[in-house]
Each structure stands twice: as structure tokens, then as C-alpha cells.
Structure 1
Amino acid sequence: MKARRILIVECMQEISSFNPVQSGYENFDVERGEELYRQRGRNTAVGGALSIFEADPTIQVVPAYAARAGSAGLLSATGWTRLRDEMMAAVRDGLQDIDGIYVSLHGAMGADGELDPEGEILTRVRELAGDALPIVISLDLHGILTERMIRQVDGIAIYHTYPHVDFADTGARAARLLLDLLNGKRKPVIARCIIPALVRGDELITRTGCYGDLIGECRRLERDGTALSAGIMIGNPFTDVPELCSQIVIVSDGEEESARREAERLASEFWPLRHRMQGKLVDLDRAIAQARTLNGPVCFTDAADATSSGATGDSNIILEALLAAGYGRRVLAQIVDPEAAAAAHRAGVGAQIEVSLGGAMDPRRFVPMKVQARVQLLSDGEARLETMKLGLHAGPTAVLAFDNFTVVVMSRSVSLFDRAMYYANGLNPKAFDLVVVKSPHTEYHMFDAWVEKNFNIDAPGATSADVKKLGHTKCMRPIYPLDDIVDYKPAASLFSRPDAS
């Protein structure tokens, strides 16, 4: 039997439109051709897809191109053009005798001059591949699935966990769906039901929140065969693009009415929960006052400056407030400040230096603060994410100590949704009384399992959960909570590829 050839492409970035610093091509780690095999065995979507494809002796993988970047600001026009053109050239070169295509995407990209990069990628891939080839994609549940994207694809698999741990599982589900299409078993219909709501907060933690209960229904629909794939995408509230929303996505095996019914049912169950799915923020002064009275360690979550959501990472708001309040216990924090890191590297370990911390990239929100600090440690800023095992490249990094504060100062913004950058610089968060985490949520064992309380701080930033203060100008309106919406009646749209009907 002739081997069936599957092309693999990946493009992953999430942006905050409210980050004033554009990202560029240099933000991306690019793998070309067989370099994609580095993801074998890793908890990534491509890693999961490879585990399925390579276990099937009738399948030959054709790795084309993978580009991954940490969350950041809007991608520059020149960066987007170069990335897109390289990707399309790799796709074009790999298309000979291809039987199917798998594309791993995030879904919350945005570029200067192209607010739907994933839609543009899929449109161009479809134009190159023609109508006959099946295309299946995987998406982050924080992605924005657009109509343009849906019209190019035959199947979709969406993350089911937040904090995300099912990267590989999602890639594997996408791979199985693509194999079913190649085997002629499926005639997919996609039902999409838009919900005009932006959501945030603890109720989105799928292990404990009401959002997780709804995701459980999606998993049930997949397990009992009602749907080939089911997911609830909540978008990224900070990616201000025209189709930003929450939405239900059901992929069925030709069952239009079933797909429509389940999408509308889940949307009707989601809608009344939108009030619960909002960030519950704590005033910073109140958090400090309470932290003084607690015996155990505490965590201050600075979700407004979450680099994993696209913020700059240079907020010093919490540090300044702790200093001003005279908080005397041991504090561990992180900040992005290339000039401060460079000054520490010039001075060397053990030196006493005066530097400004914070406001390096977002000076409209954050005013630099002067500190006299000792250079405790210097590093190259290399680390590896705890769950995904992908590399972090924070550039020249320094650990600065002043008073009761220990601060990891990085040259570049990287995802801080785990403890990797602390560990990589010789610091154990459990050795401190107050730990600042620049991420809306982390996996439970990382902090919440051992701190006495985790305070979700109300602070300014490009990824504030108080989304009404951010200044959306492009997203669909009306949308909750930016607007009051009295009536909402779910109405699903159906999509199917001409060759799959």
C-alpha cells in the first residue's frame, strides 16, 4: 500500500493589542523541515500529532515549518510578511503527493495590517493545496476562530484545559480526526455559535470552575460519539480584533441538526454564567495589609502584566507598593528591564549598583523606580517550561537583591506562567514569604497548593482582567462586559467543505 503523506505546519503566537511594543520575526523560534521532529515526545500539539501519525505504518510525515513565539505585542508588518512568506514557501515545497495537512495554530495572533493572520495562513494553504485535500487544525481555547478560518478547514480540535496541560492530547485528537478523513469515514459539519462575551477569572480554571463543567460536556460529546470534536473558545480579551468573542464549536459527522442543537445548548448554558466568569480583583493596599497578618507564604498574582497573555512584563507597581508600605518579609519577583540587566552584567556578581526598575517598555503605565541593589547572580536567561519543556530565552538576566527583595531581571519578555525562570536562576519560591507571579493562573501544584492565599491584584497593565478599562476599538459590539446586553438568543451557523458534503 502506498504511504499516505501528511504535511505538518505550525504557527503559534498570542498578542495583546494593548502592549505598546510591537513584536517581530526575531520573537519566533523557527523549525524547518526535519527540525520539527524535535517536538517528538513533548507536550506540544505537534508532539501529540506526531505520536499518532508515526504509530501508523501507512502514514509518512512531511514536516514543513513551525514557528512559535511567546505572547507579546502586535506583530510588526515586516515580521508578519517574512514569517508568512517563509511558511508558504515551505508549504509549497512540501506539497508534492500530499494526502492531508495538519496545521497547529494558537488563534490569537494579530499583525500590523493583518488582524486575522491565522485566517490568511489557512486561506493561502488552501489555495496551494486545492479543495480536495483535507485540512485539520488545532487551536488554543484562547484563540479567535474566524469565519475565514472555518471556511478553509475540514476539522478542528481545541484545548480542553486551563491552565493548559493538554497540548499533546489536542494534537493527537486533531491527528486522529485527519486520519479518519483520509480513511473516508467522516463527512464533517462544523457548527459555530458566537457568544458576545469576554470572560476572565478563576471560574475559567477547568479543574474547579463553571467553565470546566461546560468543557466536561464537550468531552462527553466526543466520547459518546455525538461529536467528532467539541470545544468552547473564550478568546483572548486582549487581542482586539473584529471577531473577538466567546464561541461554541461542534464538529459532527454530517449531522447538521445535532451539531446545531448542541452548539446552541452549550451557548445557552454559557450565557448566564458570564457574570461569574469575570476577574475578581483585590485592591493592592488591602492585599498587603492582609498579607502582613498571614503566617504562611502568599502569592501576589499580577495578571495585568502577564507576559503569557501579551503584556510587557515591566510593571513595578507591586514592588513600589510593598516598599512604600514597609512590608518587611522576603519578597521574590520578576521584571523585564533590559537596561537594568545590562548594568548588572557590566558590574558583575557581588557589585552594588544603582538602577531603575520598571517602565522600560510601557512608561505610560509604569514609572521607573530607583533602587540600590546587590548583583546576586548573572545568567544567560535560558530556561525550559515545566509542562511543555520548550525553551525560554530571556536574554542576559540578573538576580538583584535589595532590602528584603529578590528580583529576577530579564532582558526579554518570556512566558512566566510557571516557576521556570525562578528555578533557572537558583531561586526556590518556597523559600520566600511573598511571591509575585506575572500570570493569571498557573497549574495548581506550582503555587496554590502551598501558599496560604493567592491575591489577584488589581493593577494597571496591558492584560488587566478589568477589560472595560483597556480601550477596545475593533472587537464586535455590543459585547459583555463592555456593553449591557439585555437579550441573547443562541443561533449557530453551519459550515462544511464542498468536497465533504
Structure 2
Amino acid sequence: MRNILIVECMQEISSFNPVPSEYENFEIERGGALFGQRGKNTAIGGALSVFEGAEGIGIVPTFAARAGSAGLLSAAGWSRLSGELLAAVGERIDEVDGIYVSLHGAMGADGELDPEGHLLAEIRKMAGPDKPIVISLDLHGILTDRMIRQADAMAIYHTYPHVDFADTGARAARLLLDLMQGGRRPTIARAVIPALVRGDELITRTGCYGDLIRECQRLEREGRALAAGIMIGNPFTDVPELCSQVIVITDDDPDTAAAEAERLASEFWPMRHRMQGKLIALDRAIAQARTIEGTVCFTDAADATSSGATGDSNSILRALRDAGYPKRVLAQIVDPAAAEAAHRAGVGATIEVTLGGAMDPERFQPMPVKAQVKLLSDGSGRLETMRLALDAGPTAVLAFDNVTVVVMSRSVSLFDRAMYFANGLNPVDFDLVVVKSPHTEYAMYDQWVEKNFNIDAPGATSADIRQLGHTICARPMFPLDDIDGFVAQANLYHRH
């Protein structure tokens, strides 16, 4: 019997969110509780399906921590989280023959801007040089030199909007089982691209980024690469190694690994201009929405909680009110004080509160409203694709004028319709729906709305990357800087 240790630590942060995240933001699973992900569309769920189907494999679950996107993790929160995770790993690591680590890749903590690199380095120290470590990563992660030096191989998401969570975990699991058989000598090529990207061309189903991802998939399917992927980083995580990058892993074939990584990086570079957010001014979007029959979507990517924003932007609501937009509006906002006032007053009551600016008052001024409390809930929901639980805390549905708004106490991912559905609301019943995510899966909105407007609004995750204020990432970096020439060069890594 060969044993495999499983550990997970996942969070994505925005350095431009003024509210730090804390240990309490994380949902923690210990030991056998990780088996609760069995059958779910998560990385661990996919890995379990492979490990449990393999003969002679024992599973040693240790620790899983997952938090919604938010601001930089506090020093105290990071100290406690990393300490508990590493202690849990240390208790069982001598029992195992291989290690699977599920990561996002875009964490950041006060005093440690490469948390995943730190965790992997400490796990490698405990494991020794010979036990294989395979990791899985979100394509928005920031894979650092320190991370690569600890890992034998990695599997990277191939879809955006992400639907291949379990598939990526399964690919990582198969890689680990393959390495544990012996005989493989993974060679990792990394080609760094000095570009930060956003926009519709990143949708892998339709965009030019997806065309390059399919080249990575071809390399894997043809057997020329053990794994391949293109990571575009999270442009809101301002850390030293923020970038886009190509990763190609071969079996002791450095020439192929380097050549393919450099080829894909060279093809990516001229597409960087296409891979930028194309935004519409809010007043123009409102004017056009007035004239459109059928539902329209206002995408507020600048306040995307799944990318690390606060979720308390009222910019669109304020502009709609000021413009006298007359049709039915559905929106979401994070405002714990307003939610608390609604719960105190009860269903049916009329309350006077302010909405917005609860966490990021420098960007958003509180907006006074007189609203009726239509519904109260505990804020629980479940993501449509991953089926993971959401907990937005005490939540209220408020109605004022022509607006219905779901007011939450805590930030949760809003890249689907889960919190609308959980509070008895269906977007198809409204004329204008605000979505606080840069993209959603096609069927959720784009398949049926008349028009999806990508709104130019302020926020900690604005697609107008140049105005965010990066101070830490390497420079020059497109589009923060003009770069005249770029020649792709791959660095090679061999652990053995």
C-alpha cells in the first residue's frame, strides 16, 4: 500500500481592497472531513476520484483551508493558518509516499507575499528530496520560482470561466501516481511574459486565450508534455512575481519543454492588446439600456468579490437613480449595517438606511434609501457549478423605487446566480441585473440577456489595470508600461 497525503490552501486576494482578510474568513476541514469533497466539482473532489480508483493507494487527508477572495491576509491570520496547516501535514508526512497540494496561487499575506511558496518550501523540508509533490493551480495564480523549485509537477486550470476544477485535480492526481511509479524525470519550462490581461478574449470558449490553451491541451494529449498551461495571474494581486507565464512539463526532454514554452509565450505576446478590458461609460450604458426590450446585464467587474473586491460598490445603483432609469433593477451589495437594520425591523417594515461604502468609503459614498424589507435570510447558498456552500451572513432583500437589492453581511463569490436564487429572486424577472463578476458561465446570463454591458466603474478589481496603482510587481509590465520588444526565454527546472 502506497499512501498519498492531501492538503489544500486556497484564497485569491486583491492588494487594492482596503479590508484585510482574517483567519476567520477561511472554511477549515481537518482529516477525514476532506472526504466531504468526494463527488464535487473541486480539485480535491477530482483527485479523490482518481486516487480511490487506483489499486493499492491509501489516502491521508490532513487539512483544507478555503476562503473567498478578499484583501491581504493579516499577519496574525497568516501565522495561525500556516501554522495549523503545516502542523497537520507534519503529523502524517512520514506515513506517505507522495503529496498532493491543492492551491489557488494568488494568495498574499502581510509579511509574506508568496504564501504558497512558503508552504511548499516547508512541506518539502518535511518530506525530504525524494517524495514527489504535485500541485494544482488556478490559471489566475502566480506561480513563483520558489514554488516551482519545491514541486515535481503541476496541473493548471484550462477553462475560464472555470468549470474544470475536478478535472484539474484529477490531472494532478494522475501525474502524481505516474511519478510514484518511478522512471519519470520531469523537466519544467517556465516562460515569463511581462503582461497583465483582462477582458472577453480570456473566455476560453470563445477568446484568443482559449486558442492558446487548446495548444497546451494538444501537447498533453499527444504525449509531448506531461502537463502544460498558461497562467495569466490575478492582476489585482500586487506581488513581486505577478505576470503571465507559460508552463510546459516534459519527461526529461528540456529541448521540447523550452521550445514549446517559448513558442506559446511568443504567440501570446502580440495578443496582449486584445486581452484588455473593453469598458463602456456608465451613463452611455444606462442610456442604451432604456431603449432595449428584454433583460440587460450590467457587469460590475470592478467590484468583483470573486477577484478580491469588497462588494460594497453602489456606483451603478447611484447612477441608475440619478439618471431616472425607470425599469426593474436587481442588484447585490455587501453592507452589514443595512442588513442588520433590516433584520431588526422585520419583513414588511420600511427602513431608512444607507447602502454602499461600508468597507471601501474612499471609493464609494453611502447612498441613503428608504426601503421596504421584502425577505430575510441567513445568507446561506450554494455555488451553481462547484456546489460549495456560501455563507453571506444575515441577508435581506430590500425594495425601493424600481430597485430590488440583496444586501449581505459578508462578501461571498458572486460569479453565478446563487445568492439571487437563495433569496427567492430570478434574474429573468427583471429588466436590468447587476453582476459583480467579470464573467459568468455562458448559460447563466449571456445566453439569454439582450445585452451584457461591461461597465467602467471604480473598484478594487477594475479592468482598467493602469489606474489601480501597482507598486510591487516587476516593471516594465504591460499595460502599466510601454514595452518595445519582447523575446520569450524559458527557464528550466529539474528537481532530480
Whether the TM-score (by the shorter chain) exceeds 0.5 is yes
Is the aligned partner of 1:236 residue 2:243? no
Q: Output aligned runs, 1:5-44, within 5 Å.
A: 5-44=3-42
Q: Which residue of 2 aligns with 1:360?
A: 358
CA distance in structure 2 between the partners assigned to 1:171 and 1:369 by the alignment: 44
2:312 is paired with a residue whose SS is coil
State the alpha-carbon separation in 2 of the partners of residues 285 and 228 from structure 1: 50
Q: Which amino acid aligns with 1:304?
A: A
Partner of 1:269: 267
* Aligned counterpart for 2:481 among listed residues 480, 483, 498: 483
The answer to whether structure 1 residue 438 and structure 2 residue 412 are counterparts is: no
**TM-score if structure 2 supplies the norm length?**
1.00
Counterpart in 1 of 2:327? 329
Question: Percent identity among equivalent residues?
Answer: 75
- CA-CA distance at 1:265 after TM superposition: 0.1
Q: Does 1:260 align with 2:276?
A: no
Contact preservation (8 Å) 2:396, 2:406:
yes
**Is structure 2 residue 172 aligned with structure 1 residue 174?**
yes
Separation in structure 2 between the aligned mates of residue 16 and residue 79 of structure 1, nearest angstrom: 16
What is the rounded CA distance, in whole Å, between the counterparts of 1:126 and 1:495 in structure 2?
A: 16
**2-side partners of 1:271 and 1:219: how far apart?**
19
Amino acid at match of 2:122: R
For residue 157 of structure 1, give the secondary structure of its aligned residue in structure 2.
strand
Structure 2: distance between partners of 1:426 and 1:57 = 46
Question: What is the letter of the counterpart of residue 239 of structure 1?
Answer: T
Q: Which residue is equivalent to 1:183?
A: 181
Measured in 2, the distance between the counterparts of 1:265 and 1:247 equals 12
* CA distance, structure 1, for counterparts of residue 134 and residue 385 of structure 2: 25
Give the aligned partner of residue 343 of structure 2.
345
Structure 1: tracts of 5 or more residues without a match: none
Partner of 1:429: 427
**1:96 CA drift (Å):** 2.5
Query: Equivalents in 1 of 2:460, 2:349: separation in Å?
Result: 34
CA positional deviation for 1:323: 0.3
Letter in 1 for 2:47: A
Contact 2:342 2:396 (8 Å CA) reproduced:
yes
Name the CA distance, whole Å, in 1 between partners of 2:426 and 2:182: 53
State how far apart, in whole Å, the 2-side matches of 1:58 and 1:477 are: 49
Counterpart of 1:72 in 2: which secondary structure? coil
One-letter code aligned to 2:78: W
CA distance in 1, matches of 2:355, 2:472: 33
| Corresponding position of 1:140 | 138
Residue number in structure 2 paired with 1:162: 160
| Residue number in structure 2 paired with 1:206 | 204
Q: Distance in 2 between matches of 1:358 and 1:185?
A: 58
Deviation at 1:95, TM superposition (A): 1.2
Distance 1:140 1:495 in 2: 21
- What's the CA shift for 1:187? 1.0
Name the residue aligned to 1:303: 301
SS of 1:16's equivalent? Answer: coil
Describe the superposition over 1:176-213 as per-residue Cα deviations: whole angstroms up to 9, x where unpaired. Answer: 00000011142100000000000000000000000000
* Off by >3 Å, runs of 4+ in structure 1: none
Please say if residues 305 and 411 of structure 2, whose CA atoms lie closer than 8 Å, have aligned partners that are also in contact.
yes
Q: Deviations over 1:442-500 (max 9, x none)?
A: 000000111000000000000000010000000010000000000100000000113xx
Amino acid at match of 1:146: T
Residue 67 of structure 1, aligned match among 65, 68, 87:
65
Q: Which amino acid aligns with 1:4?
A: R
**Secondary structure, in 3 states, of the residue corresponding to 1:96?**
helix
Structure 1 letter corresponding to 2:483: I
Shift of 1:27: 0.4
Equivalent residue, structure 2, for 1:401 = 399
The separation in 1 between residues aligned to 2:55 and 2:62, in whole angstroms, is 20
Counterpart CA distance in 1 for 2:487 and 2:103 is 30
Provide the secondary structure at the position in 2 that maps to 1:454. Answer: strand
Alpha-carbon distance in 2 for matches of 1:304, 1:492: 33
| RMSD across aligned positions (CA) | 0.4
> Paired residue for 2:416?
418
Q: CA deviation at 1:329?
A: 0.4
Query: Partner of 2:344: helix, strand, or coil?
Result: helix
Aligned length: 496
- Other structure's SS at 2:95 match: coil
**Structure 2 equivalent of residue 461 of structure 1:** 459
* 2:6–2:61 contact (8 Å) kept in structure 1: yes
2:56 corresponds to 1:58: yes
Residue 118 in structure 1 maps to residue 116 in structure 2: yes
Deviation, 1:94, is: 1.1
Deviation track 1:324-372 (CA, whole Å, cap 9, x = no partner) reads 1110100000000000000000000000000000000000000000000
What does the per-residue CA deviation read over 1:94-147, in whole Å, with 9 as the maximum and x for residues that have no partner?
Answer: 112210000000000000000000000000000011001000000000000000
How far apart, CA to CA, are the structure 2 residues paired with 1:186 and 1:409?
Answer: 53
| 1:392-431 deviations in Å (ceiling 9; x for gaps) | 1100000000011000000000000000000000000000
Q: Partners of 1:346 and 1:142 in 2: how far apart?
A: 40
2:53 aligned partner, one-letter code: A
Query: Following the alignment from structure 2 to structure 1, what is the Cα–Cα distance between the partners of residues 311 and 286?
Result: 21
Matched AA of 1:365: R
SS across alignment from 1:263: helix
Q: Which deviates further from its counterpart, 176-185 or 202-211?
A: 176-185
Asked if the contact 2:306/2:414 (under 8 Å) is kept, the reply is yes
Query: Partners of 2:456 and 2:368 in 1: how far apart?
Result: 23
* TM-aligned CA deviation for residue 57 of structure 1: 2.2
Structure 2 residue 106 is the aligned partner of structure 1 residue 104: no
Does residue 129 of the first structure (1) align with residue 133 of the second (2)? no
CA distance in 2 between partners of 1:341 and 1:233 (Å)? 38
2:200 partner amino acid: D
Matches within 5 A, 1:64-103: 64-103=62-101
Do the aligned partners of 2:94 and 2:127 also contact (CA within 8 Å) in 1?
Answer: no
- Give the unaligned 5+ runs of structure 2: none
